[in-house]
């Protein structure tokens, strides 16, 4: 089984590296050639174009959004290069509408399509401990499961329709952003009354939210005011919250927190925080009250 991997950003680079442990040929492509060269030194096969990865039996893609995925996979000729019966595993966080469109396009071409967005930051990807949210026919997921096992600690299956996995990923990221904003505002309130943010975070991660890696990890970043390097950029958080709101609208479901968060995220980006970690929502909350 030959493997292709397209999109070697902070997450994709480590994921492709883990796939090399399969012992199968792994063809890699990225717009910036530096990660390709780094993986070639580990045994990967560099592709001159994204379409060259389409010769593989299974093609993974980990691109930024709908636009980037369309530009590379469709306009870049990858799908045209893929043989009927091959499988595309899209691991990006994309909109539900785009996932539906991609599933139909793959079906027309006789190519299997699986949505498999992930939960986990860069260090988790490097360790091969991601949680993978899979949507697609069981037969297809079963075929690639040994490869998914190299990337994650567990594959969570959410239905035979790929877009269902994308809806779940957007629901997760909406919930994550809500939690971070809540910690940011709670920390700002504590600081406004003379209580260090670290004491507040220690309290809630020991009592109300004990055992939660989100509250522990992002709470620690807020308490330490450590917002870079970004493991999950605030601009990407804004994109995901927007897509979650749109997914709700598509089902006639208003998302009040999602609507509010869109304004909060725009506020943070307007202050120049787009490339900071999503934890910088804590910085934004404190800035409202001019808390230093």
| 187 cis-preceded (ω within 30 degrees of 0) | no
Among 45, 109, 129, 169, which one carries the catalytic annotation?
169
Residues 6+ apart with CB under 8 A from 234: 265, 268, 269, 273, 274, 275, 276, 277, 278, 280, 281
Runs of H (alpha helix) within the chain: 10-19, 34-40, 66-69, 78-81, 96-109, 122-126, 138-151, 162-192, 197-206, 213-224, 234-249, 256-270, 281-288
The pairing of beta strand 118-119 with beta strand 130-134: antiparallel
Asked if 169 is an active-site residue, the reply is yes
- Cα–Cα nearest to 150, from 11, 7, 14, 39: 14
Report, as residue numbers or ranges, the catalytic residues: 169
């Amino acid at each position: 089984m030959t493997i292709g991997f397209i999109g070697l950003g902070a997450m994709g680079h480590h994921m492709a590296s883990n796939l090399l442990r399969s012992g199968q040929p792994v063809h890699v492509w990225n717009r910036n050639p530096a990660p390709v060269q780094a993986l070639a030194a580990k045994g990967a096969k560099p592709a001159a174009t994204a379409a060259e990865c389409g010769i593989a039996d299974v093609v993974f893609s980990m691109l930024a959004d709908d636009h980037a995925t369309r530009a590379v996979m469709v306009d870049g000729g990858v799908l045209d290069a893929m043989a009927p019966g091959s499988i595309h595993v899209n691991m990006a966080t994309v909109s539900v509408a785009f996932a539906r469109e991609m599933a139909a396009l793959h079906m027309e071409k006789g190519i299997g399509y699986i949505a498999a967005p992930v939960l986990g930051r860069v260090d988790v990807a490097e360790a091969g401990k991601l949680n993978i949210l899979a949507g697609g026919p069981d037969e297809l997921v079963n075929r690639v499961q040994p490869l998914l096992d190299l990337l994650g600690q567990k594959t969570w299956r959410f239905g035979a329709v790929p877009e269902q996995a994308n809806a779940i990923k957007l629901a997760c990221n909406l919930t994550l952003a809500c939690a971070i904003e809540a910690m940011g505002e709670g920390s700002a309130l504590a600081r406004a009354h003379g209580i260090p943010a670290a004491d507040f975070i220690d309290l809630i991660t020991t009592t109300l939210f004990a055992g939660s890696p989100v509250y522990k990890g992002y709470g620690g970043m807020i308490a330490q005011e450590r917002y870079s390097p970004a493991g999950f950029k605030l601009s990407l958080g804004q994109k995901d919250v927007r897509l979650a709101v749109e997914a709700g609208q598509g089902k006639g479901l208003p998302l009040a927190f999602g609507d509010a968060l869109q304004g909060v995220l725009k506020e943070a980006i307007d202050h120049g925080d787009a490339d900071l970690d999503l934890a910088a929502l804590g910085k934004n909350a404190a800035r409202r009250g001019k808390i230093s």
